[in-house]
Amino acid sequence: MSPTRDELHWMYRNMVTSRSFEEAIAKIYFEGKTPVFNMANGPIPGEMHLSDGQEPVAVGVCAHLNRTDVVTATHRPHHQAIAKGVDLDRMAAEIFGKSTGLSGGRGGHMHIFDPEVNFACSGIIGQGLGPAVGAALSRQMQDKPGVAVAFIGEGAVNQGAFHEAMNLAAVWKLPFICVIEDNSWGISVPKQSSTAIANNAERAAAYGIPGMRVEGNDPYAIYDAAGEAIARARAGEGPSLLEIETYRLAGHFMGDAEGYRPKGEKDALQEADPIPRMRTRLLTDGVASESELAAIESESLARVEAAIRFARDSEDPAPEDALTCVFAA
Amino acid sequence: MSPTRDELHWMYRNMVTSRSFEEAIAKIYFEGKTPVFNMANGPIPGEMHLSDGQEPVAVGVCAHLNRTDVVTATHRPHHQAIAKGVDLDRMAAEIFGKSTGLSGGRGGHMHIFDPEVNFACSGIIGQGLGPAVGAALSRQMQDKPGVAVAFIGEGAVNQGAFHEAMNLAAVWKLPFICVIEDNSWGISVPKQSSTAIANNAERAAAYGIPGMRVEGNDPYAIYDAAGEAIARARAGEGPSLLEIETYRLAGHFMGDAEGYRPKGEKDALQEADPIPRMRTRLLTDGVASESELAAIESESLARVEAAIRFARDSEDPAPEDALTCVFAA
Amino acid sequence: MSKTNERRLTIARAMAEAVQQEMQLDPSVFVMGEDIGALGGVYGNTRGLLDEFGPQRIRDTPISETAFIGAAVGAAQDGMRPVVELMFVDFFGVCFDAIYNLMAKNNYFSGGSFKVPMVLMTSTGGGYSDAGQHSQCVYGTFAHLPGMKVVAPSNAYDAKGLMTAAMRDDSPVVYMYHKGLQGMGWLGTEAGATVHVPEESYTLEIGKAKVVRPGKDVTIVSLGMGVHNALKAAMRLEEQGVSAEVVDLVSLVPLDRDTIRASVAKTGRLIVVDEDYMSYGVSGEIIASVTEHDISVLKAAPKRVAFPDVPIPFARVMEQYCLPNPDKIVEAWSRMQAA
Amino acid sequence: MSKTNERRLTIARAMAEAVQQEMQLDPSVFVMGEDIGALGGVYGNTRGLLDEFGPQRIRDTPISETAFIGAAVGAAQDGMRPVVELMFVDFFGVCFDAIYNLMAKNNYFSGGSFKVPMVLMTSTGGGYSDAGQHSQCVYGTFAHLPGMKVVAPSNAYDAKGLMTAAMRDDSPVVYMYHKGLQGMGWLGTEAGATVHVPEESYTLEIGKAKVVRPGKDVTIVSLGMGVHNALKAAMRLEEQGVSAEVVDLVSLVPLDRDTIRASVAKTGRLIVVDEDYMSYGVSGEIIASVTEHDISVLKAAPKRVAFPDVPIPFARVMEQYCLPNPDKIVEAWSRMQAA
Ligand SMILES: Cc1ncc(C[n+]2csc(CCOP(=O)(O)OP(=O)(O)O)c2C)c(N)n1
Ligand SMILES: Cc1ncc(C[n+]2csc(CCOP(=O)(O)OP(=O)(O)O)c2C)c(N)n1
Ligand SMILES: [Mg+2]
Ligand SMILES: [Mg+2]
């Protein structure tokens, strides 16, 4: 299964939008946090986990999904949210903690929830898996279309929830896909010192389901592998496990000094930035012209700028609204 | 590695002791619970999980262990405790809730703790794994001899703790063995409807460690497989996973009506009772004579009777001692 | 004593009936948990459902509480109404993130755009020597963390009405049933729990306490099994000429502070009876709720009869020494008089 | 204001120093947790230890809290003295069984024949917009369940002494440090937490509260961050001519009820300040501990300033609206007067 021209444009557009969005967020994040960096200050307070470099995973997978499909994401959800079609204005506003945010400012960047596109998050490692399996169960029981994808990091694979969810999805043959973003780091702990085997896709055998590893942070290869897994799920053939090699270009969170990285790793990663790589390939393959790409880039930027403006211009929530939405209305 | 004559005698003795012990317990359990069965009554109140039929696992594994090795067991611990050399008098007294019990009556049958032989339990599924891994870590860090074995049921394999513990033990190459007693039932739920693959030993590959399945509830084969895994661990070569087919001759707990069992299963299991089978083989192989076996049997029975007598004759704890031992003395 | 037309059910049967009737009405309701199918639930509360609804809607699960409770959250967010069982509340530690960080919070995290209409039912309580990992109540633990409604019936009538209400609630509800009230064949049952239950479906409002015995000298507040201890103590106190009012909390979250305060305002005295551990739990909260509101109504320092802060011992003499009982409640009254 | 010979340390450094000194003395002490090696702990409390002690004794773990906290229990039972970190207390739900059913209970289950000398250290608290899964205190949750000592320092002096005491204790100790007191570069720190810390090793007795400010009109009881809010409120009250006594609980289990009761007996008024959720938690327990003992000493109904029963919101205005602060404490005093 190869991506069509339109799909490739869509993928590139979403990668660029995600990158532009995070670049904008990163800049704003430091506002009010100088001269002494204090996470609590500025228009975007709290922790901030960027996904720069990991965009290929999101677009390669989400190219096969539609609004009714379910995605659960993690503490690092922006690229996935954008590729899944989460409302960018309201997501930006949520990250700013504004009343117009997806959750009226209650959730923040680790809790992006958009019912329109069935997107949810948990900031607890591995805990998006259960809900994704449950959504897949709901579709199977109701004979409703749709698959559920849980994105997790390679560090999350060593969490018990992974094992339980994979087994449950396999036993019940659910339309579920677990996508591992293997950026080789769990904060400061490298994969090889936390995970007993090199290739988590091999863990699929423990559940009698297909597992595939995709190397190279390559949107084309990811598209292929994800397409197969998702088609299987849609056909009622049960769950799959994908491990996708990717790179985290930035720190684990903003403010991370990254002293744990081996010397030279950062530079090497910058060289491998998947966005310019895809750009080059689109041109080489004759799938997009320079002017088409420039248009995508400027449109994406404009889209991001509009979203940021929307967020900035929105009102803070009423403080006492903190007390609402504890229970269903 | 084949068991020696002495080892075979030891194995048979422990199987018979365990069976006799549980037969005694089973009889006493119903005292005071008639005419209306009420778990809360009688000299042995509370839940009671018997291991009849599963003795081969305990003896096949523990034949390779000595007092300094560590075992963690489950809600169904008697056979393992006996094979590990837990003090039978004080274990019986604990099961009766007496002051002379291993824990002065605080623990009961699901919480058998004997520091003399490094034996501990948890009644929560899968939760003996972490402590066994930790004991193995302690031995490795201190360069002290000893391996740690966690016994779990096949149902427990689907608990997240299993996955986390296996990975941790493998990453740290600890002297740890996970022994799965596959009696094919988790209370009323059959293995095939709870576990995505038929052979849990295959899950070892998810941790890059050896896995082996032993069929037939056969003490000889179990001895062999366990011997290999434990030798590996002692040699510093890291953990192993063993899945051992076994049978639960009785209900999950006493009082279980076992309505979930397919027709005929119980009878078939009684036919496959491993104790008479081993007895026959010992005779056929000329490893023990009828009189030797009779002596083992009567000695075992006498040992059990003495333990039960000790338990019966012991005093109840002082009620207010319930308030002691919360913290270390 | 039983009247004609009375339909006395155990709590187990009342729970199963509520689920059965709701499943007949609402195709989105289904049940998941360990041994809830062929076995009908270790505590009998799903008995008969597998035969009627089949294994799609009555699902035995692997021993994977994190996965299947997490899955219930996901299914609830996707339009289903799962009823999910945690066999013993004591097992909450293997799956509590799914409960208090997902089930409890996703409505809030999403600003209300994701609803999580699910019921987590779980057995509580001891008294039958099941030791420290199978006898706890941990009411306080569940009630402390925001986002979950928490109910605990003391009798079959309430059990049915609460279960139906819980299944219809758009918020997650934790339904804590006490093993000693359940009416299982193999476990003694407090007789007062088995009462008349109407056949037709009905709901009990979640968040309302009940004055189950009026009185004027002292208010005894409790829940679940404790209500029966309180009622027995009240009868004993009556023999001493003391008129005790008994309040059954029914619901811990929302907590009906008004009913408690009104009762204590009337009686001037408060005893809280709780089978959960004493410190940092229900008993403290009830006393604080009264005293922070108005101390002038109190004629004596409030007292609590709760499980001491020790793991639950196995040996019967030890466990019974720790458990609340009518004697201890009567004795609390005496201490109150002595002070 | 700083005196000569003063050695002002942050809590992070005080904790690391305590561990360092104990590791030098006792080869059985080691540290396990996520990012406690090369990173030195997300909250800095193991900084420098990897260099000195190497990766055998300073062990980064996989993200497998159930396994490594369970492993700490097993290692503690086998003669080691693990110090294990749960990065944020909010994550307790993925591993709580290892904590409250093993670590907390194995001493009891074994009748004292197995000791579990381990320290579980974990960060608490919000105030910096980290939202509902990274800002909780859940003090009440840990303190409610028997078998664990629970401490929470408010300053670096106590932090060091408590850590050393915890490592030497033969019982399991939960050590809850507040992120806002920690002195991390990237997070604002309450200045009052960074105080003089003697270089040599010393212990603080676990289970003793401290009167950190004497007063006579009202007792303000708190812990961790709340102590600083209480002290600030006390200064403001002083301007109004009100003399507030501030009690720092230091330890939740054992709870030093005597010190609290003695203080309230003197002042006649009680305000409890707690960053944990209000209901069924610390604030209720403190109030109940005082009122069940003797209500005659109280001149007014006790008050609490605690986090409302809602998940912790992300948006700064909302979170700050919910958090305890000096204003709210002063206002609680006013309400007390008005009543
Ligand atoms: C249960 C749990 N443990 C620990 C954490 C803290 N934590 C947040 S992100 C992270 C690393 C995650 O690594 P990985 O899964 O590889 O995702 P990545 O950050 O690389 O995208 C950790 C340990 C958490 N949020 N939840
Ligand atoms: C975490 C947890 N979930 C559920 C239970 C209840 N329970 C006790 S034994 C059991 C079945 C265990 O099956 P298996 O592991 O195969 O062991 P077996 O009983 O067959 O020896 C269950 C579900 C428990 N004790 N702990
Ligand atoms: Mg990673
Ligand atoms: Mg089994």
Neighbours of C296 (CB within 10 A): 11
Give contacts of A189 with chain B, Cβ < 8 Å. none
Question: Could you tell which of B48, B75, B247 is best to mutate to test the pocket of ligand 2, judged by most ligand atoms within 8 Å of the CB?
Answer: B75
Per-residue CA distances from A105 to A99, B274, C84, C88, C260 (Å): 6, 64, 30, 36, 35
Q: In one letter, which amino acid is C243?
A: S
b vs e for D74-112, b when ≥16 Cβ sit within 10 Å of the residue's Cβ? bbbbbebbbbbbbbbbbbbbbbbbbbbbbbbbbbbbbbb
Residue D317 contacts residue A316 (beta carbons within 8 Å): yes
Residue type, position C262, single letter: A
Ordered by start, the domain boundaries in chain B are 5-323
The tokens for D266 are 């003197």
Q: Looking at residue B36, what is its pLDDT?
A: 87
Tens of pLDDT, residue by residue over C49-66, are 999 999 999 999 999 999
> Which of D185, D188, D309 lies nearest to residue A40, judging by beta carbons?
D188
Query: What CATH code would you report for B5-323?
Result: 3.40.50.970
First to last CA, chain B: 45
Distances (CA, A) of D319 to C74, D61, D125, D127, D294: 27, 32, 11, 7, 36
Beta bridge partners of B181: B153, B244
The pair of three-digit structure tokens given for residue D136, joined into one six-digit string: 């909780």
Ligand 1 atom showing the smallest separation from residue A248 Cα: 20
In this structure, which amino acid lies at residue B295?
Answer: A
B151 Cβ partners below 8 Å, 6+ apart? B57, B58, B61, B71, B72, B73, B74, B77, B80, B128, B179, B181
Contact map slice: A 132-161 vs B, CB within 8 A: 158-161
> Six-digit token pair at D22?
């104990």
Residue B285 CB partners (closer than 8 Å, separation 6+)? none
pLDDT per residue over B247-289, tens digit each? 999 999 999 999 999 999 999 999 999 999 999 999 999 999 9
Q: Indicate the DSSP class of residue D100.
A: I
Of the candidates A168, B155, A72, the one whose C-alpha atom is nearest the C-alpha of residue C32 is A168
- φ/ψ region of C35 (left if φ > 0, alpha if ψ in -120 to 50, else beta) reads left
Nearest CA in chain D to A316: D317
φ/ψ (deg, to 5) at B317? -70, 160
Mean per-residue pLDDT, A249-254: 96
Return the number of CB contacts < 8 Å for B and D. 154
pLDDT tens sequence across B116-139 = 999 999 999 999 999 999 999 999
Say whether pLDDT at A162 is over 90.
Answer: yes
d(CA A119, CA C106): 12
Residue-by-residue pLDDT tens, chain D, 339 positions: 456 679 999 999 999 999 999 999 999 999 999 999 999 999 999 999 999 999 999 999 999 999 999 999 999 999 999 999 999 999 999 999 999 999 999 999 999 999 999 999 999 999 999 999 999 999 999 999 999 999 999 999 999 999 999 999 999 999 999 999 999 888 889 999 999 999 999 999 999 999 999 999 999 999 999 999 999 999 999 999 999 999 999 999 999 999 999 999 999 999 999 999 999 999 999 999 999 999 999 999 999 999 999 999 999 999 999 999 999 999 999 999 987
Label residue A36 by pLDDT band (50, 70, 90).
Answer: confident
Task: Tell me the nearest-neighbour CA distance from C59 into chain A, angstroms.
Answer: 10
Distance A153 CA to ligand 3 centre (A): 5
Q: What is the pLDDT of residues B195-224, one digit of tens each?
A: 999 999 999 999 999 999 999 999 999 999
Near ion ligand 3, which residues have CB within 5 Å? A 153-155, 183, 185-186
Q: Which of C166, C323, C147 is nearest to C250 (CA)?
A: C166
Tell me which chain A residues have a C-beta less than 8 angstroms from the C-beta of C23: none
- Start-to-end C-alpha separation, chain A: 45
Shortest-distance Cα residue to atom 8 of ligand 1: A125
Long-range contacts of A25-30 (CB under 8 A, 24+ apart): A25/A50, A25/A78, A25/A95, A26/A50, A26/A250, A26/A254, A28/A308, A29/A254, A30/A254
Tell me: pLDDT of A256 over 60. yes
- CA count, 13 A, side-chain hemisphere, D302: 36
- From chain D, pick out residues whose CB is under 8 angstroms from the CB of C269: none
D partners (3+ CB pairs within 8 A) are: A, B, C
Residue of C nearest to A99 (CA): C111
Among C103, C117, C113, residue whose Cα is nearest residue C170: C117
CATH of span D210-338: 3.40.50.920
Strands C149-151 and C251-253 turn out to be antiparallel
CATH 3.40.50.970 fits C3-196, yes or no: yes
CA dist A72 and A96 (Å) reads: 21
**What are B151's strand-pairing partners?**
B179
**CB atoms B171 and A206 under 8 Å:** no
Q: What residue spans of chain A are helical by DSSP H?
A: 5-30, 55-62, 78-84, 88-95, 129-142, 160-171, 191-194, 219-234, 265-271, 274-284, 290-313
Residue C80 to residue A229: CA distance in whole angstroms? 25
pLDDT at C2: 52
Q: Which residues pair with B186 in a beta bridge?
A: B189
* Same topology between domain C3-196 and domain C210-338: yes
Q: Give the other-Cβ count within 10 Å of D185's Cβ.
A: 14
Read off the amino acid at residue B14: N
Rounded to the nearest whole angstrom, what is the distance from the C-alpha of residue C116 to the centroid of ligand 3?
Answer: 29
Please give the number of the atom of ligand 1 that sits closest to the Cα of D42: 6
- The number of beta carbons lying within 10 Å of the beta carbon of residue D207 is 15
Q: How far apart are CA C255 and CA C260, in angstroms?
A: 9
Interface test with B, best of A167, A172, A240 (most B CBs within 10 A): A167
Which residue type does A234 have? Answer: R
ipTM: 0.98
User: Amino acid identity, residue D321?
Assistant: Y
Euclidean distance between CA atoms D246 and D244, whole angstroms: 6
What the block records as the tokens of C122 is 């779980």
Q: Give the predicted TM-score (pTM) of the model.
A: 0.98
Measured CA to CA, the distance from residue B164 to residue B207 in angstroms comes to 10
pLDDT in tens, C9-36: 999 999 999 999 999 999 999 999 999 9
**A293 is written with which tokens?**
């790409």
pLDDT grade, residue C309 (50/70/90)?
very high
Please report, to the nearest 10 degrees, the dihedral formed by the alpha carbons of residues C138, D274, D143, C331 taken in order: -70
pLDDT reported for residue B84: 98
Per-domain boundaries in chain C: 3-196, 210-338
Alpha-helical runs (H) found in C34-155? 49-57, 65-77, 96, 106-109, 139-144
**In what order do the strands lie in the sheet containing A70-73?**
A119-121, A70-73, A148-153, A176-182, A240-245, A211-214
Q: Which residues of chain B have pLDDT under 70?
A: none
Q: What is the DSSP string of C220-231?
A: EEE-THHHHHHH
Q: What is the pLDDT of residue D273?
A: 98
Q: Which two tokens stand for residue B54?
A: 């599963």
